[in-house]
Amino acid sequence: MNHKLPAFGNHSITIILSLGVMILGMGFICWAMIGICAPHYFNEQAAKNHYAPSTTDTTLIETGKSMYPIYPVEGENIGKLTIPVLNKVLPIIQGTSERDLTKGAGHYSESVLPGEKDNCVISGHRDTFFSSLGDVKIGDKIIAETSAGIFNYEVTGMRIVDKDDRTVIVPTEAATLTLTTCYPFNYVGSAPNRYIVSAMLID
């Protein structure tokens, strides 16, 4: 007896083609969803890794968790900066845009936050919040108060650098506070230099 293979009719071919198109369509949808979601996931992970503390960082709380679980957003008031010798108490604003610097001393967002190990950079205008920064001397105290606590710094030095000098924002091994403003203080127009005050965390 001869057995013939069953022949596919037009109806069967239509069903197979339809299934193929559906599977292909679902594949494109999955690929598109991966393309949309993946960048958000990796950006979030990168942000977490960027601000995650080192387990050997002695200026972080003993659990190894960051002193700032929620990183501040641009324009947010994150605390206050007290300079006793100048009798000044200044708001610390996250960011150094022109708008931020009209509200207080601006924290350079690519530097660590007050109290953390490394270089915390805070800038202010020479004709407003940091107008008398030149009167600060070695040994003077500077206090930064934020949601993470109260941090006492002692001034270790002052210097004048060119406005394009990037060494002001380089990382440091110890917990350092760097205050910057334009210089000369009485200069008219865009000042060519920056006045820098460096301080070390002592408490």
Report how far Cα 169 is from the mean position of its chain's Cα atoms. Answer: 13
| CB neighbour class for 186 (10 Å; exposed up to 12, middle 13-18, buried from 19) | exposed
From 3, 37, 120, 182, active-site residue: 182
182 is catalytic: yes
Amino acid at 161: V
From 11, 37, 107, 125, active-site residue: 125
Rounded Cα gap, residues 163 and 187, in angstroms: 13
The answer to whether the peptide bond before residue 184 is cis (omega within 30 degrees of 0) is: yes
> Token match 């660590």: residue?
112
Nearest CA to 120 out of 98, 105, 137, 104 is that of 105
Tokens of 37: 């979601």
φ and ψ of 148, to 5 deg: -85, -10
Dihedral in degrees, nearest 10, Cα atoms 90, 96, 102, 105: 10
| Active-site residue list | 125, 182
